Structure 1
Amino acid sequence: MPERIFNAQKFRAAIQASGLKQSEVGEPPVSLGESVISRYGSGAVTPPPEKLPALAARVGLPLDVLAPRRGLPDLKDLRCDAGIQQKDTPQYTGTKSAMPVRAAENGMRRLKDEFVAPLAEAYGVSVEELRAAQERSFGNMVPAVRKPAPPRSAALGAPQTVAEKITYLLERTYARHERPTDAELADRGNQKTGRPILDEVLVRALRTGKESTGDEAILGALAAALDAPLVFFTSDSPDEAARIVAGIRTVQNGVRAARHGDGPLPPEWLDFIEASIREITGGKSPDGPDSQG
C-alpha cells in the first residue's frame, strides 16, 4: 500500500507556528502524551497512520502536506485517512468483530455489499472510490475514480438544498475525523433549542437528501447543531454562505486561542457569536430575551 510519508520537519515547524505546546498538540482527539509528540517531531518515531488526520488538523496543516502519499489509496489507506482504527469498524458494518474489514484490507475476502455504503460514508468517500480502493487491496491496480462535475450551484460555492447546506457546513467547518454523527447533530440541536425537534433518522434523511424541509423550527435546530445562523439555511446567496463559514471558522479559531491561554476573545469574534445567536434564536440576545436596545 502507498503509505503516507510523515514529514517530521514540517510537523515541528507547524507546532512552532501555531504557538501550541507539545502537551496541547496531544490533547483529544489526538490523545497522545507530550513525550510521544516530541518523538514525532524529532523524527525518532513515525505516527500511526490513523493518527495523522488528527495531528494534521491540530497543527493546521493539510494531511497531504504533513504526510503526502505517492500512489492511489487502498482500503486501509481510506480508513486511516478517516482517522478510524480497524477495531472500531464494527460500528459501521454492524458486525461483532472487525474481521470483514480486516479480511478485505488484507486481500483475503471482499466486503459484503451491505458493508460498502456505510464504510464509504464513514471514510468520507464515494461507493465507487471505496470499491476501487478494495480492488487495490487485492492487487488490482485500478485507476482513480473520476468524480462527476459538480452542479453549477456547487461550482459557484452556493449550496441550494438542505442536504447540500448540511454537507457544506460539515466539510468546511470540521476536520473529517471531528465531524459529528447524525445522532450527535440531533442531540445538539435539541439541547440548544430546548425542544425535541430532531432525531437521528430525520437528520440522516435531510443530510442525504431523502427528505427536505422548509420548517423553520427544524432548520433552526439544524443551524444550532452546526453552530450556524438560521439565515444560512434560508438564504441562497453564495456570498452569504461564504461569509457565514468564514465567520464560524473565525469563532472556532478564537475559542481555540482562548482555551490555550492567549487571552479573551477579541470584540469581532464576540460580535459574530452574538449575531449568530440572534439569528438562531429568532432575534433574542444571548444576554436577555429582548434583542432591541
Structure 2
Amino acid sequence: MPRQFDGSRVRAVRRGKDLHQKELAEMVGVSAPTVARWESGQDFPKGEKLPAIAAALSQSLDVLFPHDGPPDLQLLRCDAGLSVAQAAAIIGASRVPVSNAESGRRRLSDAYVQPLAEAYGVTEEELLAAQDLSFGLRPRASRDEHASAPRTVGEKINFLLEYGYVGQEAPSDDELARIVNEHAGVAAVTADDIAALRVGATTEASDVVRAGLAEALQVDAALFQDDAEVDPKVREFMQGLLFLGSIRRGQIIGLAARGNGGGLSAEMMAKINELVGELKHKLPEVQDGE
C-alpha cells in the first residue's frame, strides 16, 4: 500500500519549523507553487519525493507519511527516494522490468535482485518478500507491526482514525477540531493543532482537548491519558479494533478462502461471530459509532 499523504499535516509541520513554502520547495527540488498545491490537497507528490519531504521537515518518514502493512516493491523504491527510471538505471535496463515487477505482471530477473536490494537498503530476502506482495501473495508470518500500543495523544488519534472507521470515511482534522471545540465550549484547538499532534510535532494536549478528542472519536476519555504502561483494557480495546478491522477488510476471510476452496466452514464462521459478539459487548461505543 502507498504511504498516506496529508497536505494539512505537512503544512502544520512546516509552519512549526518556521519554513516558508519556497524554502521547503528548494530543499525538495520542486517549485513553491507545487508545495502549495500539495498542502491544499490539489495535487500529491510522487512517492519517491516523500523521503525528501520528511527529511527536510526533520520528521520520521513512517510518522509523517504512514502506511498500512508490509512494503511492496513500489514502496521500497519510493522509500529509497528513487524513480522508476533511476531504479532501471541501477540494473542497466529499461523501465519495463521494474514497472512489470511492481505491477505484478512479471517477476524480476535473478540478476536484478541483489543490485536493487542494495539500492533500496534492504536484504535480498526482504526484496523478494516485497515482490511477493506486489504479486498479491501476503507473507506467511509477518512481524506484528502493532505490537507496540500507541502511547502519545497523536499516535492514539492516528490509530483510531485508521482502525475505527473501516468501511466509512474518518473525520478530518477540521472536523475533529470542530467537535473538540463544541465539546469544550471554547476555541480550544485548531485543525493545525490536531495535525501537529498526529505527526508528533507536539505531544502536549490539555485535559479539555483530550476530553474533546474522546468525544469526537467516540471512546472513553481514559484512553487519552498519558500512562507509562498501557492499561490492559486499553490494549484489549486496540486489539479489538485491529481484529474487527481485519474482518471488515476481508483479510481473515480472504486467507481462509485461499487455503480452502470451500471457504470458511460453518464452525469457523460461528467462532468468528462469537468473537465479534464478545468484542461488540466490550466495545459498545466504537460499535455504535460505526
TM-score (norm 2): 0.47
Higher relative contact order, structure no. (Cα contacts within 8 Å, ≥ 6 residues apart): 2
